[in-house]
Amino acid sequence: DRDSDRLYVYQWNPNTGRLIAEPGSPFTLQGSAAYGIALDEENGLLYTANFSPFIPVYSTTTWSLVKTIRVAQPAISIAVDPARGMLYTGAGYVGETSLCQHNLATGENKVVQVDPVGGVMGLTVDWATGFVYTTTGLSNRPGGDDLLVYDPSLTLVDSILDIGNPT
């Protein structure tokens, strides 16, 4: 549930075409009011973005709080790149116009503006290349509506402008 501490976990059964609730689901994520989530399957961690610069991180084995990370700006959209140890956040829904990259090893933050009037709405990372894909907007107001691609150093490498209200 968005803006709550409940997380519903399901397994996909491709043979039946059905989702099956994980035993014990929904789980309670102490201290979370998640809007966005990012799953690090390699390390068994779930990162949650909850309208603040504090990112609660949970173990996917016990669903207990492992740590809290502070990023440079409020976060709603979130993505993790376990291969490079980077966490990405944005908050276009609240008027934040930047993309934040957080180094999970050093705690260093790097921030780049994605658009003067629209912020990050959709966010994902290609784990093979480290490229970061964002869609931009401003909470159902004019601004953004672009698809932007950044390399791991946050250099803009591609853009498709005015794709409409994507996310």
pLDDT at position 95: 78
Residue bearing the bigger pLDDT, 33 or 103: 103
Q: Sign of torsion, CA 50 52 151 120? A: positive
Close Cβ partners of 115 (under 8 Å, ≥ 6 residues apart)? 97, 136, 143, 144, 146, 148
Residue with tokens 């698809």: 147
Q: How confident is the model over 13-36, as a mean pLDDT?
A: 91
pLDDT at position 139: 60
pLDDT digits (tens, 9 = 90+) for 137-154: 776 556 667 889 999 999
Rounded to the nearest 5°, which phi and psi values hold at 94? -110, 15
pLDDT at position 71: 96
pLDDT digits (tens, 9 = 90+) for 35-88: 899 999 999 999 999 989 999 999 999 999 999 999 999 999 999 999 999 999
Task: List the beta strands (DSSP E) in the chain.
Answer: 6-7, 10-13, 18-21, 27-28, 36-40, 45-49, 52-59, 65-75, 77-81, 86-90, 98-103, 109-113, 119-125, 132-137, 147-150, 156-160
pLDDT at position 1: 63
pLDDT at position 12: 92
Q: What percent of the chain clears pLDDT 70, i.e. is strictly above it? A: 93
The pair of three-digit structure tokens given for residue 64, joined into one six-digit string: 């207990």
Contact, 64 vs 30, CB < 8 A? yes
In this predicted structure, the answer to whether residue 89 has a pLDDT above a threshold of 90 is yes
Could you tell me the pLDDT band of residue 126, with boundaries at 50, 70 and 90? Answer: very high
pLDDT at position 4: 79
pLDDT at position 112: 95
